[in-house]
Amino acid sequence: MAVIKFTKDNFDAEALQSTKPVLVDFYADWCGPCKMVSPLVDELAEESDAYKVGKVNVDESPDLAAKYGVMSIPTLIVLKEGKVSQQAVGARGKDAIRKMLA
């Protein structure tokens, strides 16, 4: 499944109302560690249909970043039934990100 670009316009429908767990990557184009995590997130999106994967550009959607208390990027959160079940700040390896979805 392709990575979804989350914005304030589609976040409720795509992420909060999802019946599957949702991995959300809060990032910015200028962020070095974000550039390391981004391809891993992309790979995870293609590996399984058991979850959704999306990204929030904090420069384009500061309201979403604020809603989830994102102070540093990259921040990864997993939503289950519309609620945060996991959160990690900083670069992570692919296995660590995958475990967040378990």
User: Which regions of the chain does DSSP assign to beta strands (E)?
Assistant: 4-5, 22-27, 52-57, 75-80, 83-89
CA distance 83 to 38: 23
The residues assigned a catalytic role are: 31, 34
Q: How many CB atoms lie within 10 A of CB 81?
A: 11
Two tokens, residue 70: 């994102």
